[in-house]
Structure formats: structure tokens, C-alpha cells
Amino acid sequence: MKSQVRLRSAIAGAAAALLATGALALGAAPAASAAPAASAAVTPRVDLGVLVVTDGNPWVEAIRQQLVSEGVPTTVVNLSDSGRPAITSSYLSGTLADGTPVGNFQGVVLPNDAPAGLSAAEETALANYESAFSVRQVDAYLYPTANVGMNPPVYGGSLDGSAATVTAAAKSSGFGYLKGAFSFQGSAGGAQSYGYLAQPLPATATATFTPYLTETVPGTSTTGTSTTGTLAGVYDNGGREQLEVSFGYNYYQLQYRYLAHGIADWLTRGVHLGYWRNYLTVDSDDEFNADAEWSQPGKCTPNDTACPPGTPATTPSRMAPADVSYAANWQQQHKFTLELLFNGGASARFQVNGTDPLLAAFQPVASNFWWVNHTYTHQWLGCIQDFTVSPWKCVTDSGGATQWVDSATINGEIVNNIQWAQRSGIPIEADELAPGEYSGLRILPQQPVDNPNLVSAITANGIKWVPLDASREPAMRQVGSALGVPRHPIDVFYNVRTQADETSEYNWIYDSAADGGSGLCQASGTACLQPLSLQSGWTSFILPRQIDTMLGAVVQNDPRPFMFHQSNLTGDRLLYPVVSGVLSDYNAVYAGSAPVVNQRLAAAGAALHSQDGWAQTRAAGSVSGYVQGGTVTITGPAGTSVPVTVPNSTKVGTTKGATFGSAYGGEMSAYTTLGSGPLTLVLKTTPYQSGAATAPATAATSRATKSTSAISAVGNPAVLPAGRLGDAIINATNGAGSTGGKSGTARP
């Protein structure tokens, strides 16, 4: 399957990055001598930040990546790095000059309960530290054993298509944003996921196991006495808590994405630096314009791309008044707002008796949509193009200087569209601008820099937000006075209004030349798709893939908008089943406390800018924070924006202060600006207490069982069936990189 090859390639390409060793990003170092444990007589201080010990496997890297995406400061210790620091008591904790014990990390992430790269002394140091400071540990993926409170597995195998249940205990401990059930991706018996179902050992006076994620053991439901097995849960051994997960996964798999925030929240006891939301902004470009339509026989787009001689003309796609009514009703039904990027100058071409029927249909409901200036006539705003060569190139003068579209043309495209909107009753934000086809912005390799005339016009017109093509530029950047906001393209093409045309073009792009396709897949060295039926290909294959692509981005704390075109709002109205599918799948899994954040371009840009700013602050190490007793203290330069997540009822300053943050997912969070003094937040409870747990097992005991508890990077036949761990590593990435690659073929 082409998807499997693409996933394997994505993992291979990311391997070097996954093995990188990070540095401590936040948290003050101990001011005095190191100490092996907290003193029960003094309330300990625990710094805000997580220790991630990685062996490079995708499951531990998935947790690291989630912490980074939310903005949780992390210190990464790479077990394959010969120069890594030793994990000792002095590395983990210390003592202030006044005798206050200090824990350097509020949580610990390990690849499993006994990683091969850790020494016995390091395991003991971690266990002692976690016990002394009430610090939790996540074991990213392990084989269930008595070491973590579990019986041997009653099932080991594929989890594809299986139904999992989030228990009440999980929902009360960080996973409350989930409704309680979801399915693993794939079809029953597939090779995308692998894991173990086991049952907890009976509780003892000092040790208990609490299931967090359960499933019915395959084959038992048909007997009338179905058996429940555990996929994840918390082992509490004398107060030391370990969240163990017994299935393989990668950052991009949806089943992990659903659990990812809960893992981070459980690990940090709901108190951490960072901010989490699930975003979805949907753009439809070229409103009031018309888009050229794909030709099935010519396998091209007449009037927009070169077509074979004799290719019949196709009728350009343009919304009709009935499509406006449908859009307004759909928005109301789904409580969702679409963002329309408009070309007002195009409206004059479609007037009937001096009136554009489409404009007339939009005017009564225009305030129900968000509108963005897409320039007056959708004119090209970059360099002057030379189409006598393929690919085209920028025209240069005799001295080799690039020839640009002039300032007067660009200013006219911006200002005329604003004035047209004001005359026509179209409400806009004048500081948003989307050049047609991203023109004027750099396009490699032909145009490596922005048109300087566009940059000047953006600044002169007070523009603050400009979309970028995320398949070319995934990161935000400055464009004159504006910030560029990357948008995800998607495989619902600009030049189609019907399912059949969409499928025909999809086949052309992804099929081999022998199957009637373009052969691009062969040229790029990837597997080619088999041709899809023009009658059923959209519903059976393309639509579900696009839903998963979008949903994967929604649940990655990613505010980047998605891009469609007005042609997708007419004909078979292809946009709606995609977005409806995303919303339906999302709402089936997430509780009402964590709704999709639907916002316009400017707000999406502001969210992304806040994330980027905090990433820079973390890298600089200029902000530190800690929890001591029931108080959180955060310090840093005045004016610094800091994201903070805390439990409900957390107060600012004192127990009688204002409630901190805004509610989302069962907790409170916000970006807050530091003043001249420390920010103090008062919690309802004391999350980290001195000496909360009894002494852990000795190093000798924990090492004695290492061979049966750890899952190594090369597999252990006694623990995992031969070849299956490789499947888990390679196939646990359904959707990896899915918003790039082929999506780059979408036209702005």
C-alpha cells in the first residue's frame, strides 16, 4: 500500500530528529548542595518541567513531542548518547540555602519501566526521587508484568479497529476531556497497531492498579462471558505512581492523539507551563470568482494549464445563490463559521441586469461568515513571469535584476477590494490580506524572495496577517508589517466541483503511467495507488483520508487553517462532507468541555504567534516556575507572555483572588503577561508533598526482572512475537506528515 511506504519514509526521515538530546529549558537549578530526598519537616519545592528519558522509540518520542507542542518545558536524556548526564540523586534534586528540598522535575517519562540503557543505580535514583517528591512516571510502552501490578497478558496482537473505553478513574485524573470511548484506526486484524490486554493483580495493602483504558478481549464476547482487559492504567506502589501503556503508538496515530493531552496532564498533576486547544479554521478561497474545472478526457485544466490539442472546454465553477443558502444553513446546524477569501472585482463579470446574483444572495447573511481580502481581481503579484520555458522563471533586465509587479498594481488590488467590500455590505478585517495564489510571496526555486513592492504595500496598508502555503512554508515568518500564517492545503482540489472530477484528478496525480496516471509517484520513488472508481472512489477512499488528515491536525494543538476553494462549495459541495466528518468524529470522542476552537485568520495567527513566542522564551531559559505546597510561583522578565495550565478554582495571588484562566477540557489555562514581580497562583490542593511514598524496590530487585519487563528497540522474542515490534514502530504512524506531501498539489 502506498500509505505504508509513505509512513515508513516519514519515520526514516524523522529518525535523526527523534534522537536529538534536549537541554533543560526552564526551572531554576538548586541553589545549594544536592540532596537525595526531601525532608518531611520542610515543604518541598518542585520545579515546573519534565524529564524525558528516551531510547528513540516512537512511543516515548510521541510523549516528548506532545509536551513540546503544549509548551511544557522538557529536559531530554538520550540513552544512546555516550556523553549523556548520569541520572543521580544530585541530578534530580537539591537543597536551597534555607534547607528547602528542591525537586528539579515535576514528572518523568521513560520508554518502559526498566529501560535497557539505564543502570541499576539510575533506576534506584529515579525511584527514590519520585517517592520523595510525589513525582509521577509514565512508562511509554511496556509488556505487562507483576513489576507494574499486572498479570501476564490474556491477548497480544493487532488492535486495529478495536473499541477502547476510558474509565471513570481516568476521566477524574486528567482525561476528563474525553467522552469515554473511541476506536483504534484501521480495520480488524490490520498491522497499524499492536498491543497487549492484561488484567491487574489483586490489590495489596501497599500496591494497587487502576485501569485507565480498557477493551473487551477479542474472542470472549461471542461466548456470552466477555472479558475486559487493560491497555493502560496506573500502578500505585506505596504512593509511587506509574502510568503504564501496553500498546505501541506514534505521535500521529489518532488513538494516541486522543490520549496525548491526558498523559501530559496526569504526569504533571494538572499544573504546568503550557497551553492546549484543538483548533479548526476552514478557508474557502476565490469567493465571487470562478475556478477553472478539471477535464477528465484531457487530464488537465482548460484555461489554467496546458492541455492536449482537441481537449474540450470545461465550464468554470462558481457558486450559485442556492449554494449560499446551503452554506448558511450548514453553518447554523454545525455551529461552525467558514472563512471566505473574496475577489470583489470578479463580481462585475457575472452581473445580470447590473446585479450579481451571488452577491445579492450573500448580502443578507454576510455577517454569518468571516471575510478576508483576497485582492480585487486575483492578479499575480510576484515577479513578471516568463512562460517560454518550463518551469517558468522570473523575467530579469539586462543587468540581471528581477522584474516585479509594480507597487501601484499591488496597492490597487488591496485597496480596491476593501472599498468594494465596504460598498457591498461585506464585513471585513482590513488588516488581513491573502494574495491570490500566494503570489508575491517567495516561491522556490523561481522566486526565492518576496516581491519588495508587496512587502512595502503590506506595511503601508497596515496589514498584520498574511496566509502562507504550509506545504512550502510550515513556519510563521515576518512579511513586512505582517506575520505569515501557514495554511494546510488538502486533497480536495481547487479545480473540481464533482466527486467524479475529484476522483479523476486524484487518479491522475497518484497512479502509475501504466494505469493512466501521471507517473509522479514513480518519479518520486513512492508506491502508486490503484485507480479509484469514478463512481465510488470519493466516498470509499478519498473522503475518509481527508477527514483523518484534518482531524489529525485538529488534535495536535495546531491553529493553522485549512484551505479549500469556492468550487468546493458548489456542484457536489465537496467541502461539507469533509468538515462535517471531522466535526462528527471529533465530537464522538471529545466531551463538550473541549470544543473545537473555530476562529478566523487573525486569531489563528495570534495563537500560532503565542506558541512561537513561548518556544523562544523556553529556549532562552528566561522564565522559571515551581510548585511549593499549594502555591505556584512563576518568575521572568516583565512583559513576558507565559502559558499556564492549572486545575479549576486556582486563584491569582491569594485564596480570595480572581480565578485564573479560561476553562477548557476540565481545567483552566491562559497566556498571562508577567509583571515586575513573580506571578503567584494558589491551588486548592497540594500536589507535591514530602515523603509521600514508601521506599522503592532495591536496584537489585528491579534489575532482576529487567529482561521480562523491558521491550528493546530490536525486539525480544520472549516478550513480543518476532517481527511484531518492527510493525509497531513502522505502522504506528497512520497519518504521519499527512498535511504535507501530496497536499502540496492543491492550488491556492
* 41 confidence band (pLDDT: 50, 70, 90): low
- pLDDT the model gives residue 691: 61
Region 126-130: mean pLDDT is 97
CB 165 within 8 A of CB 180: yes
Lowest pLDDT segment from 24-33, 220-229, 350-359:
24-33
706-725 pLDDT, tens digit per residue, is 433 344 333 332 233 323 33
CB 521 within 8 A of CB 512: yes
C-alpha 441: how far from chain center: 25
- pLDDT the model gives residue 222: 65
Residue closest to 266 by CA, chosen among 650, 645, 702: 645
Tell me the C-alpha distance between 427 and 443, whole Å: 31
330-362 pLDDT, tens digit per residue, is 999 999 999 999 999 999 999 999 999 999 999
- pLDDT the model gives residue 79: 98
257-301 pLDDT, tens digit per residue, is 999 999 999 999 999 999 999 999 999 999 999 999 999 999 999
Q: Is pLDDT at 734 greater than 80 in this prediction?
A: no
CATH match of 2-278+690-731 with 3.40.50.880:
yes
627-649 pLDDT, tens digit per residue, is 999 999 999 999 999 999 999 99
Tell me the C-alpha distance between 624 and 51, whole Å: 15
Region 78-102: mean pLDDT is 96
Tell me the C-alpha distance between 730 and 169, whole Å: 32
Higher pLDDT, 738 or 531: 531
369-383 pLDDT, tens digit per residue, is 999 999 999 999 999
Instruction: Name the class of domain 282-498+560-589.
Output: alpha beta
Region 104-123: mean pLDDT is 97
Mean pLDDT of the chain, nearest integer: 89
What is the rounded (10 degree) CA torsion for 421, 426, 430, 436? -70
Q: Is pLDDT at 690 greater than 90 in this prediction?
A: no
* 86 confidence band (pLDDT: 50, 70, 90): very high
β-sheet bridge partners, residue 562: 282, 488
Residue the block writes with cell 539586462? 398
Indicate the pairing of strand 282-287 with strand 339-342: parallel
Region 555-567: mean pLDDT is 98
Backbone torsions φ then ψ of 34, nearest 5 degrees: -75, 155
Distances (CA, A) of 614 to 310, 447, 603, 604, 620: 57, 31, 17, 16, 10
Residue 641 burial by Cβ neighbours in a 10 Å radius (0-12, 13-18, 19+): middle
168-209 pLDDT, tens digit per residue, is 999 999 999 999 999 999 999 999 999 999 999 999 999 999
Cell, residue 431: 488588516
| % of the chain at pLDDT higher than 70 | 86
* 220 confidence band (pLDDT: 50, 70, 90): confident
- pLDDT the model gives residue 736: 33
Cell, residue 259: 490520549
Per-domain residue ranges of the chain: 2-278+690-731, 282-498+560-589
Higher pLDDT, 689 or 140: 140
Cell, residue 674: 508577567
Region 591-607: mean pLDDT is 98
Cell, residue 692: 509521600
Backbone torsions φ then ψ of 87, nearest 5 degrees: -90, 100
397-418 pLDDT, tens digit per residue, is 999 999 999 999 999 999 999 9
Q: Is pLDDT at 3 greater than 50 in this prediction?
A: no
Q: Is 649 left (phi over 0), alpha (psi -120 to 50) or beta?
A: left
Region 650-656: mean pLDDT is 96
**Run of H or E including 630:** none
What is the rounded (10 degree) CA torsion for 473, 477, 483, 487? 20
Region 102-127: mean pLDDT is 97
Q: Is pLDDT at 10 greater than 50 in this prediction?
A: no
Region 118-145: mean pLDDT is 97
Tell me the C-alpha distance between 177 and 175, whole Å: 5
* 42 confidence band (pLDDT: 50, 70, 90): confident
